């Protein structure tokens, strides 16, 4: 029997989450962001659930090729663009659109031999200070690109640093709009947080603070994690978990007052209690930093972890679930059997990180099932 741990990718949840994004950006086309192997879910596994998107955005040529192999003929966007000249040959071969964020990428395009001009997304650094041309150099970059026979349509793109927080997007939006006001081309600005928190309502009602985004780039929301947790939970946004990680209890122990659990004796029993040992550890992608008290579901009932997470195992408190024991199912995050949900964001909070990091870190050794 294989070690009793597996993950599940929920196709219906992906579809639901895509609808949530579509409803919040009804006039925009949606890039489903599937970088990092679809945020750890697997490109092949999420494809069915996300094929209703207008395009797929990612970083690696390998992942673009896999999408073409799956039969996707629609748009694919490389979010960091080409890293060298040969990448542009692949863009031609696989019909990929690509980001242009620096002069070197324009030089590459000028040197690229092709009869079919390429669609590019010209990126502005409107304040994030990661990728893109600063506003004062943006127009010159656009003019240079526009003069190249290798370039077809130019879309205008930027990325927000604070769409999920109190600083918001108004400042960067104003910078972007001012510097692009008279440039033609489709706009592409919003990530998940900007889509959900700064939706432009058809009636221009409150919340209309973002620029018109002809294309939005939705990642985390599609996978059912809240982009602005803890301000809003995934359920607040109507999002459902796209990934469940579950394992079984493979041993139980009965503790006396003063007994300790695991490495470093980090948990000390303050009363007699039963604990379960779960076949999940940090080598499966469960964060080692999660302290005693991190939420879990045991047979769909809320409980908590105890002591340190080890490489292949962790301990859970069986006090709230006296009927559970060997073989009981433990949900580490996601959806349990009876529709109980342990949001990945709650586990991430205990690990002082985000749902993004947990789902991306699901280990190779964990088998994954796709559920319709
Ligand atoms: C990853 C990424 C996104 C998606 O962000 P989410 O917060 O997951 O929605 C959007 N745009 C760019 C440029 C990205 O790199």
- Strand 243-255, strand 5-10: pairing: antiparallel
Tens digit of pLDDT for each residue in 89-142? 999 999 999 999 999 999 999 999 999 999 999 999 999 999 999 999 999 999
Tens digit of pLDDT for each residue in 29-80? 999 999 999 999 999 999 999 999 999 999 999 999 999 999 999 999 999 9
The answer, yes or no, to whether any atom of ligand 1 lies below 6 A from the CB of 218, is yes
Q: CATH 2.40.37.10: which residues of the chain?
A: 243-371
What's the pLDDT band for 200 if we cut at 50, 70, 90? low
- The CATH homologous superfamily to which domain 243-371 belongs is Lyase, Ornithine Decarboxylase; Chain A, domain 1 (2.40.37.10)
The answer, yes or no, to whether any atom of ligand 1 lies below 6 A from the CB of 217, is yes
What average pLDDT score do residues 262-277 get? 98
Q: What is the rounded distance in angstroms from the CA atom of residue 14 to the CA atom of residue 244?
A: 12
Catalytic residue chosen out of the listed positions 35, 39, 138, 282: 35
Q: How far is the CA of 219 from the centre of ligand 1 (A)?
A: 6
Test site for ligand 1: of 50, 79, 126, most ligand atoms within 8 A of the Cβ: 79
The answer, yes or no, to whether any atom of ligand 1 lies below 6 A from the CB of 192, is yes
Cβ-based neighbour number of residue 207 at 10 Å? 11
**Which of ligand 1's atoms lies nearest the C-alpha of 164?**
7
Tens digit of pLDDT for each residue in 215-238? 999 999 999 999 999 999 999 999
Tens digit of pLDDT for each residue in 361-370? 999 999 999 9
Q: CATH 3.20.20.10: which residues of the chain?
A: 12-228
Instruction: Give the distance, in angstroms, between the CA of residue 317 and the centroid of all CA atoms in the same chain.
Output: 30
Whether the CB-CB separation of 64 and 85 falls below 8 Å is answered with: no
Paired with 276 in beta bridges are 252, 316
Test site for ligand 1: of 219, 232, 242, most ligand atoms within 8 A of the Cβ: 219
Tens digit of pLDDT for each residue in 328-346? 999 999 999 888 999 999 9
Phi and psi angles of residue 135, each rounded to the nearest 5 degrees, phi first: -55, -40
**Which of ligand 1's atoms lies nearest the C-alpha of 99?**
13
Asked if 138 is an active-site residue, the reply is: no
Task: Provide the CATH topology of domain 12-228.
Answer: TIM Barrel (3.20.20)
3-class SS of residue 169? coil
pTM (predicted TM-score): 0.96
Helices (H), 128-265: 135-146, 170-180, 192-197
């Amino acid at each position: 029997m294989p070690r009793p741990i597996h993950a599940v990718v929920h196709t219906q949840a992906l579809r639901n989450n895509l609808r949530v994004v579509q409803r919040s950006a009804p006039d925009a086309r949606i890039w489903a962001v599937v970088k990092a192997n679809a945020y750890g879910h697997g490109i092949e596994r999420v494809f069915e659930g996300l094929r209703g998107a207008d395009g797929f955005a990612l970083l690696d040529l390998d992942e673009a090729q896999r999408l073409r192999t799956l039969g996707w003929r629609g748009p694919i966007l490389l979010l960091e663009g080409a890293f060298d000249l040969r990448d542009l040959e692949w863009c031609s071969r696989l019909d990929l659109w690509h980001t242009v964020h620096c002069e070197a990428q324009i030089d590459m395009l000028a040197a690229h031999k092709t009869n079919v001009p390429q669609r590019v997304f010209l990126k502005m650094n409107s304040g994030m200070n990661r990728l893109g041309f600063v506003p004062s150099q943006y127009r010159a970059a656009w003019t240079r690109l526009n003069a190249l026979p290798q370039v077809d349509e130019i879309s205008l793109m930027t990325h927000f640093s604070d769409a999920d927080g109190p600083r918001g997007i108004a400042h960067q939006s104003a910078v972007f709009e001012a510097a692009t006001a008279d440039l033609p081309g489709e706009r592409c600005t919003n990530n998940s947080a900007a889509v959900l928190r700064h939706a432009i309502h058809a009636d221009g009602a409150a919340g209309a603070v973002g620029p018109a985004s002809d294309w939005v780039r939705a990642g985390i929301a599609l996978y059912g994690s809240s982009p602005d947790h803890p301000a809003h939970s995934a359920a607040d946004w109507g999002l459902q978990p796209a990934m469940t990680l579950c394992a079984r209890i493979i041993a139980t122990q009965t503790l006396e007052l003063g007994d300790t659990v695991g490495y470093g004796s980090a948990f000390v029993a303050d009363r007699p209690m039963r604990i379960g040992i779960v076949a999940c550890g940090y080598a499966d992608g469960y964060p080692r930093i999660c302290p005693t008290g991190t939420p879990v579901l045991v047979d769909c009932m809320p409980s908590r972890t105890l002591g340190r997470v080890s490489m292949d195992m962790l301990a859970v408190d069986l006090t709230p679930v006296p009927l559970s024991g060997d073989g009981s199912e433990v949900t580490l995050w996601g959806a349990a059997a009876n529709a109980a949900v342990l949001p990945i964001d709650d586990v991430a909070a205990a690990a002082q990180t985000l749902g993004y990091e947990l789902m991306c870190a699901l280990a190779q050794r964990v088998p994954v099932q796709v559920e319709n």
